[in-house]
Amino acid sequence: MKSSSNKKLRPLMLVGTGSDVGKSVLSTALCRIFLQDGFHPAPFKAQNMALNSYATPDGLEIGRAQAVQAEACGLPPHTDMNPLLLKPNSEHTTQVVLNGKPIGNRSAYEYFRKDGREHLRAEVNAAFSRLSAQYNPIVMEGAGSVSEINLRDSDLVNMPMARQADADVLLVADIDRGGVFASCYGSVMLQTPEDRARIKGIIINKFRGDIHLFEEGRKMLEEICGVPVVGVVPVFHDIAIEGEDSVELEQKHRSMDESKVNVAVVLLRHISNFTDFDRLERDERVNLFYTNNTRDLEKADIIILPGTKATLDDLYELRRNGVTQAIVRAHHKGTMVVGICGGYQMLGQTVNDPDGIEGSIPCLPGLGLLSIDTTMNAEKVTRQVEFEFNGDVCKGYEIHQGNSTTEESVLMENHCIGTYIHGFLDNPSVINYLLKPFDLDEKMVEQESLESFKSRQYDLLANHVRKYVDIARIYEILSR
């Protein structure tokens, strides 16, 4: 269905019956569909909580999901798309990033109390206004469950934001986890009458089996909720869209495969930006898996220490559970070790935090595999970068706190590589360099560029959602 890009559509918000029901992926699909149909859409999530983040072209920080959605819209990511980002430091505290810059750490109690919330509300509302003045339509995403009525007064991202934007709302439910009737009914009925009237449709997500078997259930759901079901979307496995949350990480591969090059990513408690490994994971020569099992680490062909939101805390845990010793033993036997961002800091001689930027641990020895020392500081580096590797110009981005005692963007010493650059492994020359010692097929990791691959995946996702969601009905809703 082709639509006129001159026609103004109302904003559309996707909210969920809970976390990980598929709001982000469906928002990405709708962004792509609107772009394909001649509109100029943009994504918006007032508040996101995630450890996977991205550096915008102007050197600011937003949630990875909104960067992905911006790509689907054919736009560079901007902080107005995610003005408020929460990056958990622990179970009780989080770093608050406002308009792309950290403004300090807050406990959950401090953050969600009413005092000071109106300042944050004004900031996210202003970001939405700037965005909606430029793009059409705005595809908005809620957070977690839409029916957390105890947080209603302090909520910045769900129905209060929908009211502010005068948005139409679609409720997304994950049928795979069970309880879809109760979760949909409860999510609708726990809203105020004003907010309930905004919910114009339900999308059932992650369906398995014969979709026709749910026809009776669809009618029953519409009857009890008083809201039309505008789509039942089957689960998919053959479309590669970057994940954002630890739930996606929990579904990753966890075991060795002797027929391939085994790449072990150390499983950290505060792992961040695990999308760094998506391209390597797709290489048919590689078996990439996540583990903190010391025996598997010592058997792996390549070990990667990933990024982390809490370098010292994770380093302390790795020392406590014997992982650091296993990595050092493997390295001494010739295993290539790669450290990215926080993992790079861990590979050095020391990690120092004299001002308590990360917490209560002032200093820890690193693994001693690279000749650097790192000192944490309050200033965060966020920027996109180009660098040269093995004769090729490569791209990536940096998001980190702490300075290390080297000017090199990529430090290589004695079959050990360290870098602050996220996206380091998105570059074919890097992957082929790592795999060259294994006497494999000399073909490139992917003939297709990363940009082309991503664009094709967004189109596949859009086609999948078009097949199972009544897009014409959504246009009708947004045109009222």
pLDDT tens digit string along 51-105? Answer: 889 999 999 999 999 999 999 999 999 999 999 999 887 667 888 999 999 988 8
Residue 1: per-residue pLDDT = 41
Residue 6: per-residue pLDDT = 67
Write out the catalytic residue numbers. Answer: 341, 422
Residue 310: per-residue pLDDT = 92
Arithmetic mean of pLDDT, 127-148: 97
pLDDT tens profile 155-195: 999 999 999 999 999 999 999 999 999 999 999 999 999 99
Comparing C-alpha atoms, which of 410, 415, 346 is closest to residue 374? 346
Comparing C-alpha atoms, which of 290, 291, 288 is closest to residue 262? 288
Residue 469 has pLDDT above 80, yes or no: yes
Confidence grade of residue 3 (pLDDT, cut at 50, 70, 90): very low
Q: Identify the CATH class of 12-241+455-478.
A: alpha beta
Q: What is the pTM of this model?
A: 0.89
Residue 436 has pLDDT above 70, yes or no: yes
Domains 12-241+455-478 and 252-447 share a fold: yes
Residue 450 has pLDDT above 60, yes or no: yes
Say which CATH architecture domain 252-447 belongs to. 3-Layer(aba) Sandwich (3.40)
Residue 110: per-residue pLDDT = 72
Domain locations along the chain: 12-241+455-478, 252-447
Indicate the average pLDDT of the chain: 92
Confidence grade of residue 50 (pLDDT, cut at 50, 70, 90): confident
Residue 134 has pLDDT above 70, yes or no: yes
Arithmetic mean of pLDDT, 311-321: 96
Residue 246: per-residue pLDDT = 56
Long-range pairs for 414-417: beta carbons < 8 A, 24 or more residues apart: 414/369, 415/331, 415/334, 415/335, 415/336, 415/337, 416/331, 416/336, 416/337, 416/338, 416/339, 416/347, 416/369, 416/370, 417/336, 417/337, 417/338, 417/339
Comparing C-alpha atoms, which of 20, 28, 12, 26 is closest to residue 68? 28
In three-state secondary structure terms, 382 is strand
pLDDT tens profile 384-425: 999 999 999 999 999 999 999 998 999 999 999 999 999 999
Please state, in angstroms and rounded to a whole number, the distance separating the CA atoms of residues 365 and 398. Answer: 24
Residue 116 has pLDDT above 80, yes or no: no
Residue 333 has pLDDT above 90, yes or no: yes
Confidence grade of residue 16 (pLDDT, cut at 50, 70, 90): very high
* Lowest mean pLDDT across 86-100, 260-274, 462-476: 86-100
* Lowest mean pLDDT across 94-103, 199-208, 329-338, 445-454: 445-454
Residue 416: per-residue pLDDT = 98
Residue 232: per-residue pLDDT = 97
Residue 351 has pLDDT above 90, yes or no: yes
Confidence grade of residue 153 (pLDDT, cut at 50, 70, 90): confident
The region, left, alpha or beta by phi > 0 then psi within -120 to 50, assigned to residue 391 is left
Please state, in angstroms and rounded to a whole number, the distance separating the CA atoms of residues 176 and 422. Answer: 33
